[in-house]
Amino acid sequence: MNKSHANEPGTDVPDTPASTTDEQHTIEQEPSQRRGDVLEANETHANPAQSDDLHGNGLRVEGLTKSYTAGHEPVLRALRLTVPAGALAAVLGPSGGGKTTLLRIVAGFLRADAGTVRLGGRTLAGPGVHVPPERRRIGIVPQEGALFPHLSVARNVAFGLTGLTRGERRRRTGGLLELVGLAGYGDRMPHELSGGQQQRVALARALAPRPQLVLLDEPFNALDSALRAGVRADVRAALRATGATALLVTHDQQEALSTADLVAVVRDGRVAQCATPQDLYRRPADPWVAGFVGDAVLLPATVGGDGTARTPLGAVPLAAAPDGPATGTVLLRPEQLRLTAPAAEGAVRGTVTDVCFYGHDAMVTVAVEGHDAPVGVRVAGPLPVRPGEATGVRVTGEATLHPAG
């Protein structure tokens, strides 16, 4: 052991966890099964009594209110959020909506003006109660990893492991590094790792003390787009393998929808809607949520006694028709629109104004008669049109109606 680290907390873990070339090959071939098995074995040896703590009552936030300056509008306004035990919830919203403030209050770095925070049935914050951050059993994965630059990977992971024997620390550290796909990296220094590898180490460090909750503060922002998806998938797999409850703060809609079990959209300091990714995308609470979570086609509509909406794109069936005649806004997604010949039956005529090619698909913008705003049509495969050409647009599937008022 390097003598300069002899008195640092958690640094008596050997720099190189035990691993073999065969084990590493197995991880690459079957990461989910192999990593889960290894961690389960290590946790059983380390402290089996603590594994049940991961399946507590989850996170419950009630009436959370916070203002930074007296007399100004609050950043959080009686916010409510429930995250079931073992779930990964994403908090999604525009800048200034209160996402980071919520995370800092849950972590214990800020005190709320009102409201309560409960974790696993224990009150962490509330009237007359403020549990210090170090006693909350919450792990944090910050932006860009924030690893200790003078400690090896193994010592970074083991830093918060106190009250364990050297063997228990070694097993816990080795199991977590294998879980995040970094078996054999224990003796490396943070500057020798890529950005994605540093984020994996940061996750392993957060999971090491067996927290009841893991907070992830936009941890993928610094990664390039090609790397981001892979690291997100690894982080999600690691959280599921340990059964940890997690809260991910992000402004990336795709990240929230593709990663989380639940997505809470925060607007003006409140949760506008909290639902599974599919429910949020298909049945948004209002037009603002619809437009914020993915691309949306919003059309004015009137509904007659037959329950069908009349829109600038023609008659559209509704997923849930109102009891009687109504007016409002219908929501369609761009993938529900199809390009046709200009004079095709059942289609409305339009003119292509723009084409944005993304590789896997393209967004074709079409101006249609009777509607002020152009509509977006998502097209897969070869592009059949160019800007300036006439086209037809036809609706497929059902729309969601948001009644006026």
DSSP 172-219: HHHHHHHHTT-TT-TTS-GGGS-HHHHHHHHHHHHHTT--SEEEEEST
Give the model's pLDDT for residue 18. Answer: 36
Give the model's pLDDT for residue 72. Answer: 81
pLDDT digits (tens, 9 = 90+) for 76-113: 999 999 999 999 999 999 988 899 999 999 999 999 99
- For residue 34, name the pLDDT band (cuts at 50, 70, 90): very low
Question: Which of 22-36, 201-215, 363-377 shows the lowest per-residue confidence on average (mean pLDDT)?
Answer: 22-36
Give the model's pLDDT for residue 48. Answer: 31
Q: Compute the average pLDDT of residues 147-174.
A: 91
pLDDT digits (tens, 9 = 90+) for 297-309: 999 999 987 889 9
Give the model's pLDDT for residue 229. Answer: 84
Give the model's pLDDT for residue 213. Answer: 95
Contact criterion met (CB below 8 Å) for 314 and 346: yes
- For residue 286, name the pLDDT band (cuts at 50, 70, 90): very high
Contact criterion met (CB below 8 Å) for 38 and 204: no
Q: Compute the average pLDDT of residues 334-355.
A: 94
Query: CA nearest 181: which of 198, 161, 156, 168?
Result: 198
Q: Compute the average pLDDT of residues 56-73.
A: 88
**Radius of gyration of the chain from its Cα atoms, rounded to whole angstroms:** 25
Check pLDDT > 70 for residue 187: yes
145 vs 148 pLDDT, higher one: 148
The Cα–Cα gap between 183 and 175 comes to 8
pLDDT digits (tens, 9 = 90+) for 347-401: 999 999 999 998 889 999 999 988 989 999 999 988 889 999 999 999 999 999 9
- For residue 11, name the pLDDT band (cuts at 50, 70, 90): very low
* Domains of the chain: residue spans and CATH: 1-294 (3.40.50.300), 295-403 (2.40.50.140)
Check pLDDT > 70 for residue 167: yes
pTM for the structure as a whole: 0.80
Question: Which of 38-47, 50-59, 109-118 shows the lowest per-residue confidence on average (mean pLDDT)?
Answer: 38-47
Contact criterion met (CB below 8 Å) for 285 and 271: no
* H/E stretch holding 316: strand 314-317
pLDDT, averaged across the chain: 84
Give the model's pLDDT for residue 26. Answer: 29
> pLDDT over 90 for what percent of the chain?
62
pLDDT digits (tens, 9 = 90+) for 133-146: 999 999 999 877 68
Give the model's pLDDT for residue 196. Answer: 87
Query: CA nearest 321: which of 300, 304, 338?
Result: 304
